[in-house]
Chain A
Amino acid sequence: MTISPDQTVWFEFGFIRISSTLLFTWLVMALLVLLARWITHRLAADATLSPWQNLLEVLVEGIQGQIRDIARRDSVPYLPFVGTLFVFIATCNLLAIVPGFEPPTGSLSTTTALALCVLVAVPLFGIRRRGWRAYLRDYLEPTPIMLPLNLVGELARTLALAVRLYGNVMSGAVVGAILLIITPLFFPVLMHALELLTGIIQAYIFAVLATVYLAAATAAHDLSPHASSPSSSEDEGRIHEP
C-alpha cells in the first residue's frame, strides 16, 4: 500500500518524475476543463436553463456567496482563485471513490503547492489592492518587534493548510485501505461515503481559509474612509478579458 501517490512513478527522466499525482492531476484538469467547455459552449441567457448550466450557475453563485459573506466585498476578483481551489480539491476528493483513482490531494506535494499558491496569492492580492507600503506595514503591526512572529505566522498557516488537507485525505485513503483489509464487505463502503463528505468539507475549509487570508490581506484597504470601490457596480458579476 502506498501512502502518497507521489510514490507511484510512471515516467522519470532526470529530475522529471511523472508520478500518479501529476497524472491524476492532469486527468482532473482535463475533466474539469472539458466539462466546463462542454457546458459553457451552449450557455443561454434566457430564462430557461439546461440542468448542467443550472448546476454550474448554482456552483459559481454559491462560491461567490461564500466569498461575499467572508470577505464582505466584491467576490469577482477572488472567484477564479478561490473557486478553482474549491473545485479542484473537491473534484479530487470526490473522485477518490472511483476504484484505481488516487486523489492528488493525498499528496503532500500537491497540498504544499496549493498552500504555496495561497501563500503567494495573499501578498499579491494585498499589494494589488493596497500597495506595497500599506501591505508590508501590516507585518510591522502592532510593533516592528512582531515582524518575525508575523512572518512565522504566515509560514505556519501555509504549513497548516498543506498538512491539514494532506492529512485528512491521506488518512481517509489509508483508513479505507486498512478497513478494506479488516472488514472487506460493508464498512469500507460506509467509510468511502464518509470520505465524500469529509472531502467536500476539506475543500470547503481550504477555500474558506484561503478567502479569509485574502480578505485579511485586503481588509485595511476597505476600512480606509477615503478608499474607493475596486470595481463599480456595473462591473460586478462580470470577468473582463485580461
Chain B
Amino acid sequence: MQIDWFTVVAQIVNFLLLVWLLKRFLYRPVLNAMAARRQKIAAALEEAQAKTQQAEVAAQACRERQAALEAQREAWLAEARQDVAARREEWLSAAWREVEVQRADWLAAWRREQAEGQRALQREAVHRLIEALRHALRELADADLERRMLEPLLTRLRALDTGERTALAQAALGGCTVTTAFPLDTALQQYWRTVLHSLLGTETPFGFHHDPNAACGITLEMPGHRLAWTLDSYLDGFGEALTQVLNAQAAVVANDHARS
C-alpha cells in the first residue's frame, strides 16, 4: 500500500478538471434544461389556470344566460298556459251559451209544437164533440123540439133593450122572414106573428119559410139583421167557448214553461 504523490497530485488536478468539465457539460446544461422545462411547465400551468379561470367565467356567464333563458322560457310558458286557459274558458263559455240558446230554442220550439199539437188535438176533440152533439141532436130533432126552441129566441128578443128593439123594428119594416127546418103549423105561425107584432110592431110583414137543410132551430132574418137560435149556432157558441177555455189554459202552460 504505497502512495505515489505525483499520482495524488495528478488525480487532484484530474478531479478538479473533471468537476469543471462536468459542471460545464453536464450539470449546468441539465439543470438549465430542467429549470427551463420547469418554467415552461409553470408558464403552461399558469396559462392553463388563466384559461381555466376564463373558462370558469365564461361557463358562469353561460350558466347565468342559460338560467335567464330558462326563466324567460318558463315565463313564456306560464303566459301561454294562462292564455290557453283563458281562451279555453272563453270558448267553453261561448259554446255553453250557444248550447243553452239552442237548447232553449229547441225547447221553445218543442213546447210550441207540443202546444200546437195539444191545441190541434183539443180543437179536433171539440170539433168531434160538437159534431157528435150535432149529429145526436139532429137525430133527436123534430117539430116539437123545434117548437120548444122558439122560446129561447123569444126570450132573447124580449131581453133586447129599447134602442135595439127599435132598430130591429125599423129593419123589420123591410120584411121579416122566419126560417125553420121543420114546417110550422098554422097555430104556431099565428102565435109567432102575434108575439112578433107585439115586440116589433103591427105593420111588420112576416113570412114563414121552411128549409129542410137548415139546422134545427129558428132564424129571424130582416134587412141588415139576423137573429137565430139553432142547434148549430148553440153548438158553435159552445165550441167557441170551449176553445177559448182550452186556449187560455194552453197560454198559461206556455207562460209557465217560458218562465221556467
Given A84-B22, A238-B32, residue A110 in contact with residue B7 (CB < 8 A): yes
B38 to chain A, nearest CB (A): 7
Q: Which residue of A lies closest to B28 (CB)?
A: A239
Q: Are B27 and A79 in contact (CB under 8 A)?
A: yes
Q: Are B31 and A84 in contact (CB under 8 A)?
A: no
Q: Are A56 and B15 in contact (CB under 8 A)?
A: no
Q: Is the interface of B mostly helix, strand, loop or mixed?
A: helix
Q: Are A117 and B18 in contact (CB under 8 A)?
A: no
Q: Does B129 contact A (CB under 8 A)?
A: no
User: A46 touches which one: B11, B19, B37 (CB < 8 A)?
Assistant: B37
Q: Say which size band chain A's interface belongs to.
A: 35 or more
Q: Are A109 and B11 in contact (CB under 8 A)?
A: yes
The CB with the most chain B CB atoms within 10 A, among A3, A37, A83, A239, is that of A239
Given A6-B2, A237-B31, residue A25 in contact with residue B11 (CB < 8 A): yes
A166 to B41, CA, bound (A): 44
Q: Does A113 contact B (CB under 8 A)?
A: yes
In the bound complex, residues from chain B placing their C-beta under 8 Å from that of A84 are 15, 18-19, 22-23
Q: Are B34 and A237 in contact (CB under 8 A)?
A: yes
Q: Does A4 contact B (CB under 8 A)?
A: yes
Q: Are A17 and B23 in contact (CB under 8 A)?
A: no
Q: Does B21 contact A (CB under 8 A)?
A: yes
Q: Are A239 and B33 in contact (CB under 8 A)?
A: no
Q: Which residues of A contact B (CB under 8 A)?
A: 3-4, 6, 15-17, 19, 21-22, 25-26, 29, 32-33, 36-37, 40, 43-47, 53, 56-57, 60-61, 76, 79-81, 83-84, 87-88, 104, 107-110, 112-114, 116-117, 166, 237-239
